[in-house]
Amino acid sequence: MGSPTDTPSAAGEPADESRPPAAGPVTQLVTAVVVVALGATALTGALNLGVGSPAEPGPGTWPALVSAALTVLGVLLAARARHMDDAERFTRTGLHVLVAVGSMVAFVALVGVIGFEIPATLLAFFWLRVLGRESRRTSAAVSLGLTVVLYVLFVGALEVTVPHLF
């Protein structure tokens, strides 16, 4: 007789004890509603920016396209919510996602005040050290290197108008 990990799941694959339990249809539906709400809110903001025309796209063109796609995918997810069994139930490890999103919100709040160099370095260091559990040395080196590459790419090469110190 095989071990519990050899028992096939509903999809015909061996069960994995290290994987969190599957989410139910209610969780799937709630997730879909959140995705639709996020997409619709972002689409409203993008339309307020102005989408322009195909010949002369406005500042809201790409955000509108991405938001519309997000909204459509959320609707499709809602339609399939009762038939999906591959999503995982939210567990304690899902808090990492919330911490990552929170750190991005802090990044966005700081960029307008002190430029992107310091927040970008701190965000990368936080993600590498805290969320990724990398060493201090690796986190510091990669964070500083990434910030330099971003600066050279966006400010130097592409001449993107972003708040920066230098």
- Residue 14 in 3-state DSSP? strand
- Per-residue model confidence (pLDDT) at position 70: 96
What does the pLDDT read at residue 86? 74
Distance CA 101, CA 70 (A): 17
Query: Length of the chain, please?
Result: 166
pTM greater than 0.85 (yes/no): no
Query: In which residue ranges of the chain is pLDDT below 70?
Result: 1-16
Model pLDDT for residues 114-133, shown as the tens digit of each residue: 989 999 999 999 999 999 99
Output the pLDDT for position 14.
Answer: 57
- What was the pLDDT predicted at 143? 97
- pLDDT given for residue 7 in this prediction: 47
Check if the beta carbon of residue 95 is closer than 8 Å to that of residue 89: no
Q: Name residues whose C-beta falls within 8 Å of residue 134's C-beta, 6 or more positions apart in sequence.
A: 128, 142
H-run or E-run covering 75: helix 61-80
